[in-house]
């Protein structure tokens, strides 16, 4: 009330150019200090305000959300008066750790930081805004999403810098892992991030296998790439080694070396290595996953090593590692962290310069050289398939063994994103079948669902096999298994007929990705999307069709009942069929789903018998 009274007095002073009496100022000051004073008399014609009338209702804020704003000072910048990436990494890690500890209620340590792509640089005098919140909690680890933007105080301009995902582990008093409480998402955005977090976790776990698989399939006798070998710089000349003594200011509140500080030191030596190749000041564009393999404490000596692994036309990859020693440097080091950083060198117009080649050392140097080329391909695949918005990804992305992980991720995450949308509207209801629609700028999506007397695992097993779909879906003519990628991902060649009277058939090359629930409350997922295969080009007898996002989600409702829902983001060639059913001019979709229910009930007993025999 004192703050409200003070604001009213000041407003009158401004409007009427009057001096506020000393008694009122004293009254306001006493009120702000917590003293009680008689209420102000109501002026003629003034209405009494209801309690809380001045406060506008705000949306509920995520309890794990942490916001940090930092003014970029000269001490935070490099030679170009731009914010040092190392300093930014410190702020990012701090905000993410505080968010993780809000949820865990105990100390947390950084386990890993996913790939980060820096879109812009930040100048001195601008403000860095960081928002971090927990996307999902697993058993003892959690994923924290971080959004970084900058604000120009003079122009009011806001611009995105990067988006990152960090994994934190909760620790008990003796360093033991703590079991985390589950997180309940509230908003549509939080539900999407919560759902996709499980898929990102899966992708992290197979990242090393993806690299090994790509290197195994590449020919070892392939000649090293040469643009102009005469000017190649020996990789040894770019090598950097630096030692840092971990002091109390470098440690977090648990006594361990602050993860953000380690990342900043690593960025520093990587920048020096890159500068030795190009004899210029490089700009960091991307960081491939930081993975902390062990802790470091105050008093440790951290030895940081960096070397340019490979240079491409306009970019270079620098490998950097951190090892910890105690006071006795002769003792075997503890590997703390390693990462790969991509740098560019910009000319005066801000365009990437052509870089000199690297001549790798025999043995390990050549291995690192080839691995850098493989990582570049993986980064391009990941950025092309994963980082793009769903509407920006071409429908039929070429299938390749090296991008299988990212296509599978994109397939499942696209369906989970569609499922988490909030504005579904009931369009039709026929007996047990309910049909919903979702109208967005570029797409009309539909969802059709019903409850079936079958367990969720049984329905998942029956619906995830496309080769049996023709038994209940009259549009399907055949489905041939082309390639079994792994136990969860398969590629089919599907032949279908949109309308029964059509003479020419459609064909699809479809990636089917299956996922079992990651935790209680998650659905069983079967996601479909189009891909292209060299072995199955379009043929004259078929019209090649495409599907961007479709599939099943199955939730258990009880021990014997499940909710089965089918989602489809309608493509232009499919749109007329969908709108005809939505408008009630046809019941074909409802009839197809009713046939699906009969198929599930009919085959449920056979499935139980086969499982018992097994």
Is the Cβ–Cβ distance between 452 and 459 less than 8 Å?
yes
Read off the pLDDT of each residue in 157-167 and give the average, rounded to a whole number.
94
Does the reported pTM lie above 0.95? Answer: no
Read off the pLDDT of each residue in 490-497 and give the average, rounded to a whole number.
92
Torsion 52-58-64-67 (CA) sign: negative
Is the Cβ–Cβ distance between 464 and 512 less than 8 Å?
yes
The SS3 assignment for 374 reads: helix
Which two structure tokens, joined as six digits, stand for 436?
């919903």
- Separation of alpha carbons 446 and 418, rounded Å: 10
The pLDDT of residue 268: 96
290: confidence class by pLDDT, cuts 50, 70, 90: confident
Residue 411 in this model has a pLDDT that exceeds 80: yes
Q: Which of 30, 28, 29, 10 is nearest to 20 (CA)?
A: 10
Residue 46 in this model has a pLDDT that exceeds 70: no
Residue 463 in this model has a pLDDT that exceeds 90: yes
Q: Of 134-138, 300-304, 389-393, 453-457, give the lowest mean pLDDT range.
A: 389-393
Read off the pLDDT of each residue in 134-163 and give the average, rounded to a whole number.
94
* Domains, the chain, ordered by start: 63-218 (3.10.129.10), 233-365 (3.10.129.10), 391-613 (3.30.530.20)
- Separation of alpha carbons 304 and 21, rounded Å: 65
Read off the pLDDT of each residue in 117-138 and give the average, rounded to a whole number.
95
Residue 225 pairs in a beta bridge with none
- Separation of alpha carbons 592 and 551, rounded Å: 15
51: confidence class by pLDDT, cuts 50, 70, 90: very low
- Separation of alpha carbons 133 and 536, rounded Å: 44
The pLDDT of residue 12: 47
Beta carbons within 8 Å of 177's beta carbon, 6+ residues apart? 139, 140, 169, 170, 171
Q: Which residue has the tokens 């470091």?
A: 296
Instruction: Tell me what the pLDDT averaged over the chain comes to.
Output: 83
The pLDDT of residue 40: 44
Percent of the chain with pLDDT over 70: 81
- Separation of alpha carbons 252 and 339, rounded Å: 21
Output phi, psi for 95, to 5 deg: -60, -40
Read off the pLDDT of each residue in 499-510 and give the average, rounded to a whole number.
78
Beta carbons within 8 Å of 238's beta carbon, 6+ residues apart? 273, 274, 276, 277, 306, 307, 308, 318, 358
- Separation of alpha carbons 199 and 222, rounded Å: 35
Chain-centroid distance, C-alpha 13:
52
510 CB-contact burial (10 Å; exposed 0-12 / middle 13-18 / buried 19+): buried
Q: Of 17-31, 160-174, 472-486, give the lowest mean pLDDT range.
A: 17-31
383: confidence class by pLDDT, cuts 50, 70, 90: low
The pLDDT of residue 500: 57
Read off the pLDDT of each residue in 118-144 and give the average, rounded to a whole number.
94
pLDDT tens figures, 81-109:
899 999 999 999 999 999 999 999 999 99
175: confidence class by pLDDT, cuts 50, 70, 90: confident
Percent of the chain with pLDDT over 90: 55
Q: Which of 199, 126, 111 is nearest to 159 (CA)?
A: 126
24: confidence class by pLDDT, cuts 50, 70, 90: very low
Read off the pLDDT of each residue in 449-474 and give the average, rounded to a whole number.
93
Which two structure tokens, joined as six digits, stand for 48?
């009494």
Residue 159 in this model has a pLDDT that exceeds 60: yes
The pLDDT of residue 570: 80
203: confidence class by pLDDT, cuts 50, 70, 90: confident
- Strands 66-71, 127-137: pairing is antiparallel
Residue 161 in this model has a pLDDT that exceeds 70: yes
Read off the pLDDT of each residue in 519-535 and give the average, rounded to a whole number.
92
DSSP string, 380-426: HHHIIIIIS-GGGS-SSEEP-GGGHHHHHHHHHHHHHHHHT-S--EE
Q: For residue 333, what are the CA distances in angstroms to 336, 368, 523, 598?
A: 9, 21, 45, 64
Read off the pLDDT of each residue in 141-145 and give the average, rounded to a whole number.
96
The pLDDT of residue 303: 95
Output phi, psi for 386, to 5 deg: -90, -45
- Separation of alpha carbons 524 and 517, rounded Å: 5
- Separation of alpha carbons 415 and 405, rounded Å: 16
Is the Cβ–Cβ distance between 288 and 204 less than 8 Å?
no
**Among the ranges 1-15, 185-199, 372-386, 580-594, which has the highest mean pLDDT value?**
185-199
Residue 22 in this model has a pLDDT that exceeds 80: no
pLDDT tens figures, 241-260:
999 999 999 998 778 899 99
225: confidence class by pLDDT, cuts 50, 70, 90: low
Element (H, E) at 553: strand 550-556
SS (H, E, C) 223-274: CCCCCCHHHCEEHHHHCEEEEEECCHHHECCCCEECHHHHHHHHHHHHHHHH
Size of the chain, expressed as the number of residues it contains = 614
The pLDDT of residue 11: 42
The pLDDT of residue 395: 58
499: confidence class by pLDDT, cuts 50, 70, 90: low
DSSP at 560: S
SS (H, E, C) 485-539: CCCCEEEEEEEECCCCCCCCEEEEEEEEEEECCCCCCCCEEEEEEEEECCCCCCC
Q: For residue 546, what are the CA distances in angstroms to 61, 417, 528, 566, 573?
A: 40, 19, 10, 17, 9
Q: For residue 410, what are the CA distances in angstroms to 186, 187, 196, 204, 523?
A: 23, 22, 10, 14, 17
pLDDT tens figures, 398-410:
787 777 888 898 8
């Amino acid at each position: 009330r004192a703050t409200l009274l003070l604001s009213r007095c000041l407003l009158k002073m401004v409007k009427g150019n009057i001096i506020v009496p000393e008694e009122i100022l004293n009254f306001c000051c006493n009120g702000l200090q917590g003293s009680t004073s008689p209420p102000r008399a109501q002026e003629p014609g003034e209405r009494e305000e209801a309690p809380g009338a001045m406060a506008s209702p705000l949306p509920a804020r995520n309890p794990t959300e942490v916001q940090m704003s930092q003014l970029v000072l000269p001490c935070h910048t490099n030679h170009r008066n731009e914010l040092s990436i190392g300093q930014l990494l410190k702020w990012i890690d701090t905000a993410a750790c505080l968010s993780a500890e809000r949820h865990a209620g105990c100390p947390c340590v950084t386990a890993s930081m996913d790939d980060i792509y820096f879109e812009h640089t930040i100048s001195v005098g601008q403000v860095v805004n960081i928002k971090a919140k927990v996307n999902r909690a697993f058993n003892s680890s959690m994923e924290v999403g971080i959004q970084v933007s900058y604000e120009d105080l003079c122009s009011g301009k806001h611009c995105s810098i990067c988006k990152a995902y960090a994994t934190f582990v909760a620790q008990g008093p003796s360093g033991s892992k703590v079991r985390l409480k589950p997180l309940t998402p509230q908003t549509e955005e939080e539900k999407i991030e919560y759902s996709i977090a499980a898929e990102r976790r899966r992708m992290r776990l197979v990242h090393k296998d993806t690299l090994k698989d790509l290197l195994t399939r590449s020919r070892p006798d392939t000649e090293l790439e040469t643009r102009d070998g005469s000017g190649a710089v020996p990789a040894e000349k770019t090598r950097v080694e630096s030692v840092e003594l971990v002091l109390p200011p470098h440690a977090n509140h648990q006594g361990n070396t602050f993860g953000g500080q380690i990342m900043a030191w690593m960025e520093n030596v990587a920048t020096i290595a890159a500068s030795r190749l190009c004899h210029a000041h490089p700009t960091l564009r991307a960081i491939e996953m930081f993975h902390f393999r062990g802790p470091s404490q105050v008093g440790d000596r951290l030895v940081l090593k960096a070397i340019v692994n490979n240079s491409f036309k306009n970019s270079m990859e620098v490998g950097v590692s951190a090892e910890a020693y105690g006071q006795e440097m002769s003792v075997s080091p503890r590997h703390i962290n390693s990462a790969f950083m991509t740098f560019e060198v910009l000319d005066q117009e801000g365009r990437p310069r052509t870089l000199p080649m690297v001549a790798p050392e025999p043995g390990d140097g050549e291995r690192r050289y080839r691995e850098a080329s493989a990582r570049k391909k993986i980064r391009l695949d990941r950025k092309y398939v994963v980082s793009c918005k769903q509407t920006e990804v071409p429908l039929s992305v070429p299938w390749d063994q090296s991008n299988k992980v990212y296509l599978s991720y994109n397939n499942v995450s696209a369906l989970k994103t569609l499922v988490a949308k909030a504005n579904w509207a009931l369009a039709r209801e026929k007996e047990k079948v309910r049909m919903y629609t979702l109208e967005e700028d570029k797409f009309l999506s539909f969802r059709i669902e019903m409850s079936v007397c079958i367990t969720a695992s049984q329905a998942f097993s029956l619906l995830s096999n496309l080769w049996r779909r023709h038994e209940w879906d009259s549009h399907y003519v055949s489905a041939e298994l082309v390639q079994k990628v792994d136990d969860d991902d398969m590629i089919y060649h599907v032949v279908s007929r949109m309308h029964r009277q059509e003479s020419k058939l459609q064909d699809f090359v479809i990636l089917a990705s299956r996922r079992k629930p990651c935790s209680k409350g998650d659905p069983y997922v079967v996601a479909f999307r189009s891909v292209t295969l060299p072995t199955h080009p379009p043929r004259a007898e078929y019209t090649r069709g495409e599907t961007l996002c479709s599939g099943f989600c199955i939730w258990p409702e009880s021990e014997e009942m499940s909710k089965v829902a089918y989602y489809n983001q309608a493509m232009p060639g499919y749109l007329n069929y969908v709108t005809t059913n939505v408008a009630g001019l046809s019941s074909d979709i409802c009839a197809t789903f009713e046939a699906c229910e009969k198929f599930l009930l009919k085959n449920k007993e056979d499935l139980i018998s086969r499982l018992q025999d097994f």
